[in-house]
Amino acid sequence: MVAVTFPDGARREYPANTTGLDIAKGISPSLAKRTVAMALDGVSMDLADPIEQDAKIEFLTRDDPRALELIRHDAAHVMAEAVQALWPGTQVTIGPVIDNGFFYDFHRNAPFTPEDLPVIEKKMREIIAKDAPFTKEVWPREEAKRVFKDKGETFKVELVDAIPPGQDLKIYRQGEWFDLCRGPHMTSTGKIGNAFKLQKVAGAYWRGDSNNPMLTRIYGTAFAKQEELDLHLKQIEEAEKRDHRKLGREMDLFHFQEEGPGSVFWHPNGWTIFQEIVAYMRRRLKGDYREVNAPQLLDKSLWETSGHWGWFRENMFMAQSAGDHTEDERVFAIKPMNCPGHVQIFKHGLRSYRELPLRMAEFGVVHRYEPSGALHGLMRVRAFTQDDAHVFCTEEQMADECLKINDLILSTYTDFGFEGDLTVKLSTRPEKRVGSDEAWDHAEGIMQEVLQRIAKSNNRIKTAINPGEGAFYGPKFEYVLRDAIGRDWQCGTTQVDFNLPERFEAFYIAADGSKKAPVMIHRAICGSMERFLGILLENYAGHLPLWLAPVQAVVTTITSDADDYAREIHAACIRAGLRAELDVRNEKINYKVREHSLAKVPALLVAGKKEAAERTVSIRRLGSDGQQVMPLDAALAALANEAVAPDLRRVQNAA
RNA sequence: GCUGCCGUAGCUCAGUGGUAGAGCACUCCAUUGGUAAUGGAGAGGUCGAAAGUUCAAUCCUUUCCGGCAGCACCA
């Protein structure tokens, strides 16, 4: 006998191997009918699974949040059946549930096209309508291999081989069709419902390895209810609307063109935002950091010493004299990182322990040859500006420096309006690395301790470990912020480096007169300024806070009678330190409002005859329909106050 | 880099084996209007590049360049 505890706390005994379905039926046929799966002690299972030991049971309906995964997984199976029915000879591989849906990878000579998707969807609806039960069988390993081999499913044979010995090989059937799968599944295909959609086709490497053949992947999503699916599709649309590449065009911020793949042409508006961010960072560095600038082009030998030529070469640009008749054959690399340059500055002259920690910052432009397929607007470029810094310190100072950096990173994100969850991930030693295991043990140990202190210091912070994701020269923290629509972005990083100073034989004179290698901490807050700007744009959907907006106000007129007054307002805006433009074009006010609204100008200062007579201004704020008439002086004072950067406001408030 | 799709005016996109079209933007003219598109006229393109097939290529083929989605990568 097994004892089963129900959600209401009731406990009943059943003969061993009674199934969940038996129990549900025993309670009521309607319960059995609407139950799609069960959870035993919180673990989702097939409803038809026998209950082998005492457990808490829950019957999952379609509406249970835990059933969503099952709906999607079942949909993936049905999609695979549909595809094989439509295109016999297509091999199936794997089809897992992912964050917002599911996919299934197929092997087929001709890839799928988007036009195939509605056809597959139609077939899926037919299969779902048949409502065939999902049934599970456990097959002997050899039989499974033979069956799949006979069917020509060579990828499945590989999957069977990959299942650790001793584990059951489960086969799920739905009508005629079956698939190797670890389950669980719902009771029948009809439970999937019709709130699903196939979204896109894409290539994907077999087992995620770029050495393997490429399969065709079909992505889809499914929900319990049509309204949920509609909402989800709507959200995707919304996210597309705030695509920074689109906003960049609309707001006239930047552009890309063929001759400079992955390199940004910054327009005046975009560069204004960029410089505003840099100015903010500079203010935050004041007092602690010294800003430097290291060469863009350095001899290859320096990169050999640093290890980049060995480890990073694929991502580096090389440069030589372009002259036809030059005898100078020297090979230079365009810097992909600032650190070797900073070590040279550290090394110039004798350093004393008294100078440590020595914090060296640079808004350095680095170039990296990123794979063409990785390029993506401002988010992934080949030339970008890092808000980079290197802290040279003693080992004893290291933990404190990491914490100090942590404070700077957190407050910076808050100032830029990222107030949601933050994750700090510790990335540990990668396979390709320099330095001894002892050095790595040591560095990771310290980082681990710091991570715990960071976690305790602030309840916004979640922590995680990324095994094997560290830099080739040392472990690192990665700071991941969450934007307004819930997407995570890795921006800041703190990396501990015991290697580079040693490679360059950098040292300082310690208190006892001996030479010691400093510890080097690499640190970035925004990471890439270009990317950070892109993230900001998407976070705010282009509606930047006033202090970041490239054009903070446009002064415009109802009729040309007010032109002179508008000029006066504009001049007053400039005096008040606002980035303001004047628009006295002979256009209707509707037209001008529309145009500046589309350009995401935060404040529109409108002057007509009435305003000119009363020395007021009609203010229309981006995103609101109405307007407010205010005395000019008061309006400008309010705007100027709003435009104060958050860090400067802190200073003001403290005074 | 890989797979698929795409590349026509500044932007968004039609279109055809016989060297091109719309809307918006731009220029000019008229219009002086109260908060998301005033009307008219004009100008604007080696149809991504090169080679090939063809009497003829923007259209078909190949290669290259660039973009998009996903995968891989993000040291």
A316: nt with nearest C1' to CA: B75
Q: Is position A234 within any domain?
A: yes
Count of Cβ atoms closer than 10 Å to residue A293 Cβ: 13
C-alpha to C-alpha distances, A195 to A62, A71, A228, A235, A342, nearest whole angstrom: 12, 10, 8, 16, 57
- Residue A89 (CA) to nucleotide B51 (C1'), in angstroms, measures 38
Written as one string, the DSSP assignment of A425-461 is EEE---SS--S-HHHHHHHHHHHHHHHHHHHHH-TTE
Tell me, what's the pLDDT at A287? Answer: 93
What is the CB neighbour count within 10 angstroms for residue A452?
A: 11
Is A386 tagged catalytic?
yes
Separation in Å: B38 C1' and A641 CA: 38
Beta bridge partners of A481: A422, A489
Using CA atoms, how far apart are residues A92 and A132, in angstroms rounded to an integer?
A: 20
Domain final residue, candidates A540, A573, A591: A540
* Residue A308 falls in the annotated catalytic set: no
Identify the CATH number of the domain in which residue A20 sits.
3.10.20.30
CATH number of the domain within which A124 lies = 3.30.980.10
Catalytic residue among A156, A244, A300, A522: A522
- Contact at 8 Å (CB) between A244 and A88? no
Residues A406 and A467 in one domain: yes
- The verdict on A382 and A492 lying in the same domain is yes
CATH number, domain containing residue A560: 3.40.50.800
Q: Cα(A502)–Cα(A508) distance, rounded to whole angstroms?
A: 12
Say whether both A489 and A430 belong to one domain.
yes
Q: What nucleotide is nearest A379 when CA is compared to C1'?
A: B74
Q: Closest nucleotide (CA of A371 to C1')?
A: B1
Q: Which residue among the candidates A123, A145, A191, A368 is catalytic per the annotation?
A: A368
Model confidence, pTM: 0.92
Query: Do A362 and A342 share a structural domain?
Result: yes
Length A139 CA → B5 C1' (Å) = 41
Q: Tell me: do A6 and A91 sit in the same domain.
A: no
Which among A197, A390, A570, A600 is annotated as catalytic?
Answer: A390
> Which residue's C-alpha is at the least distance from the C1' of B4?
A202
Distance in angstroms: CA A219, C1' B75: 30
Q: Which helix (H) or strand (E) holds A61?
A: strand A55-61
Chosen domain end from A12, A27, A61? A61
Same domain, A412 and A310: yes
Same domain, A120 and A164: yes
If asked whether residues A17 and A39 sit together in one domain, one would say: yes
Comparing every residue's Cα with the C1' atom of nucleotide B30, the nearest one is: A586
- Cα distances from A66 to residues A69, A73, A175, in angstroms, run 6, 12, 25
Residues A130 and A225 in one domain: yes
- A387, A388, A497, A583: the active-site residue: A388
Cβ–Cβ contacts within 10 Å for residue A142, how many? 10
The answer as to whether A25 is a domain residue is: yes
Domain that holds residue A27: 2-61
* Phi, psi (degrees; rounded to nearest 5) at A181: -165, 145
CA distance A385 to A363: 6
Domain assignment present for A546:
no
- The pLDDT assigned to A172 comes to 94
Q: Assess whether A388 carries a catalytic annotation.
A: yes
The CA distance from A311 to A333, in Å, is 14
Mean pLDDT by 10 residues, chain A (655 residues): 89 89 90 91 91 90 92 95 91 91 90 86 94 92 90 90 85 92 91 92 89 90 94 87 92 92 94 96 96 96 93 92 86 95 96 96 96 94 96 93 94 93 91 83 90 88 89 89 90 91 95 94 96 95 96 95 95 96 93 94 95 96 92 96 96 88
Its sign, for the CA torsion A219, A225, A228, A233, is positive
Among residues A181, A339, A402, A526, which one is catalytic?
Answer: A339
Same structural domain for residues A189 and A275? no
A153 occurs within a structural domain: yes
Nucleotide nearest to A586 (CA to C1'): B32
State whether A124 and A40 are in the same domain: no
Nucleotide nearest to A111 (CA to C1'): B4
Distance CA A260, CA A167 (A): 53
* Known catalytic residue at A367: no
What would the two tokens of residue A446 be?
Answer: 């310290």
- Alpha-carbon distance A57 to A42, whole Å? 8
Task: Report the distance from CA of residue A591 to the C1' of nucleotide B42 in Å, as an integer.
Answer: 22
Whether residue A547 lies inside any domain: the answer is no
Q: How many CB atoms lie within 10 A of CB A31?
A: 14
CATH number reported for the structural domain that contains residue A530 in this entry: 3.30.930.10
The pLDDT of residue A440 is: 87
Backbone angles phi, psi at A295, to 5 degrees: -60, 150
Nearest nucleotide, C1' to the C-alpha of A473? B75
Structural domain contains residue A545? no
Strands A616-621 and A603-607: antiparallel
CA of A226 to C1' of B20 (A): 45
Residue A436 pLDDT: 84
Query: What was the pLDDT predicted at A533?
Result: 96
Looking at the structure, tell me whether residues A131 and A180 fall in a common domain.
yes
Q: Which residue's CA lies closest to nucleotide B11 at its C1' atom?
A: A249
Annotated active-site residue A122? The verdict is: no
A526 flagged as catalytic: no
- In this complex, the nucleotide whose C1' atom is nearest to the CA atom of residue A561 is B32
Domain assignment of residue A503, yes or no: yes
Which residue in this structure is represented by tokens 């100090």? A404
Q: Which of A43, A61, A79 is the last residue of a domain?
A: A61
| A246 located within any domain | no
How many Å does it take to go from CA A586 to C1' B31?
Answer: 9
Separation of CA A156 and C1' B48 in angstroms? 43
Alpha helices in A242-289, H assignment, sequence order:
244-250, 268-285
* Catalytic status, residue A241: no
CA of A106 vs C1' of B17, distance in Å?
A: 38
Q: Please give the tally of structural domains in chain A.
A: 4
Record the tokens describing residue A194, joined without a space.
Answer: 């019709």
List the nucleotides on chain B closer than 7 A to a protein CB.
1-5, 7, 11-12, 30-38, 65-75
Among candidate residues A185, A244, A359, A476, the one labeled active-site is: A476
